[in-house]
Amino acid sequence: MNKIWLCLAHMGGQEQKFIQEAFDTNWVVPLGPNVDGFEHDLEEWFGKNAGHSIHVVALASGTSAIHLGLIMLGVEKGDEVICQSFTFSASANPIVYQGATPVFVDSEPGTWDMDPTLLETAIKDRIAKTGKKPKAIIPVYLYGNPGRIAEIMEIANRYEIPVLEDAAEAFGSEYNGQKCGTFGKYGVLSFNGNKMITTSGGGALICPTEEDAKRVKFYATQAREPFPYYQHEKIGYNYRLSNVCAGIGRGQMLVADEHIAHHRHIHGRYVKELNIKGITVFTPNADKESNPNYWLSTILVNPKEAGFTCSDLMNYLATKNIESRLLWKPMHLQPVYQNAPAYVNGTAEKLFNQGLCLPSGPMVSDKNVDYILKQIQDFSTNFNQ
Ligand SMILES: *Cc1c(COP(=O)(O)O)cnc(C)c1O
């Protein structure tokens, strides 16, 4: 049996056509019609029910989108930026690129995303300790879960702190019918190989106005001023998505709905069929408005009840050619961030110690799920004999 991977890219079939077009028209140079087309597709997709206009800039990665978002918000040396602790390091690293300091806020157990109460505690305490407000808030939709974005927006608006949503894992997730990535001032998308849709590598920044989008494009193309020669008044970056990669993105947009439906289907099967003592399949206990994309299906293993740990299970599944992975290790526990202020309630650390991601991508078939379920069942039975 071939190895079952956590989340492999899946091509719908039309991607080659868009790439071929780029070659045929000699638009292999960085920008071109596929970039415009892909941005347009994303604007249509995210604009639905956003309640405001949407302007999307296609970029080289989700990480570069976060970086440019912070630049647009004026984050600089000496500033503090609040970031969810339970996430991938790419959510926080660009704060440091800007010479600013991340302030980590823990999650709440019901949704695994930023705890709004703790967020407000952190804001108040930073103001008391430093005399100024944090410059931005980065909530993350972990594993595609919309979390408590309405409450986070209410707090952010009350303190007048802009929100940069890290929706890298949440393509297609909705809250109250509105797409994740359209709630804050800026929204970040990733099209890395393992995300909901891919351009092999890429990302995008969702902006509130045409003017903002223009400014993002300016920074993403080396900050060239409109002169007949190369004139620079700002530090720029080479962060645009290439026209070839954008062609893959246009093809992926044609199958985005199918991908999301497949991820939700697999999660539904785990929920229904994984009935083992000590194992719970995570379904966020958020408001009914919340509609996750279930990018990755996750489980918690209670070692006292199950008789084994999530690492035991992960190692066993590996011997059966099944890739699974421990949950993200929280940023406040990372050696590189040991000196960053953190507001912690123990949730992310507990989840990190007990949780596992199971194969969830569009390349995971129903037969694969049958096999995975059987291996987990066998392991549990044998381990407890
Ligand atoms: C993947 C990811 C990113 C970074 O996106 P890249 O395209 O890989 O740079 C940022 N935040 C989260 C939560 C992610 O999962």
Tens-place pLDDT, residues 7-24: 888 998 899 999 998 888
| Radius of gyration of the chain from its Cα atoms, rounded to whole angstroms | 21
How far apart, in Å, are the Cα atoms of 50 and each of 91, 94, 261, 302? 23, 27, 21, 39
Query: How far, in Å, CA of 222 to CA of 219, rounded?
Result: 6
Give the burial class of 91: count Cβ atoms within 10 A of its Cβ; 0-12 exposed, 13-18 middle, 19 or more buried.
Answer: buried
Query: Ligand 1: distance of its center to the CA of 63 in Å?
Result: 6
Name the residue of 6, 64, 66, 91 to mutate for ligand 1: max ligand atoms within 8 A of Cβ. 91
Q: Write down the pTM of the prediction.
A: 0.96
Phi and psi for 81 in degrees, rounded to 5?
-130, 130
Answer for the pair 22, 243: CB distance below 8 angstroms, yes or no. yes
Cβ < 6 A, ligand 1 pocket? 61-63, 87-88, 90-91, 140, 166, 168-169, 190, 192, 203
pLDDT the model gives residue 227: 94
pLDDT of 27 higher than 80: no
Task: Please give the Cα distance from 210 to 54 (Å, whole number).
Answer: 8
Please name the residue that has the structure tokens 């006292």. 304
d(CA 16, CA 52): 34
Residue 124, pLDDT score: 98
Interval between CA 261 and ligand 1 midpoint (Å)? 21
Cα(33) to centroid(ligand 1), Å: 25
Do the beta carbons of residue 81 and residue 135 sit within 8 Å?
A: yes
**Under 8 Å between Cβ of 207 and 55:** yes
In angstroms, how far is the first alpha carbon of the chain from the final one? 27
Distance CA 96, CA 342 (A): 15
Q: Which of 95, 143, 169, 298 to mutate to test the pocket of ligand 1 (most atoms within 8 A of CB)?
A: 169
> Which atom from ligand 1 is nearest to the alpha carbon of 66?
10
As to burial, measured by CB atoms within 10 angstroms (0-12 exposed, 13-18 middle, 19+ buried), residue 233 is exposed
Task: List the structure tokens of 245.
Answer: 């990669």
The predicted-structure confidence for 34-59, as pLDDT tens digits, reads as follows: 999 999 999 999 998 888 999 999 99
Would you call 378 helix, strand, or coil by DSSP? helix
Q: What is the pLDDT of residue 332?
A: 98
Counting atoms of ligand 1 from 1, which one is nearest the CA of 169? 15
pLDDT at 218 over 80: yes
What is the pLDDT, as a whole number, of residue 5?
93
C-beta of residue 205 within 8 angstroms of C-beta of residue 59:
yes
Strands 55-59 and 203-207: antiparallel
Three-state DSSP class for residue 246: helix
Q: What is the whole-number distance in angstroms between the Cα of residue 180 and the centre of ligand 1?
A: 15
**Confidence at residue 97, expressed as pLDDT on a 0 to 100 scale:** 98
Q: Given pLDDT bands bounded at 50, 70 and 90, which one contains residue 79?
A: very high
User: Cα–Cα–Cα angle for 174, 177, 181, nearest 5°?
Assistant: 45
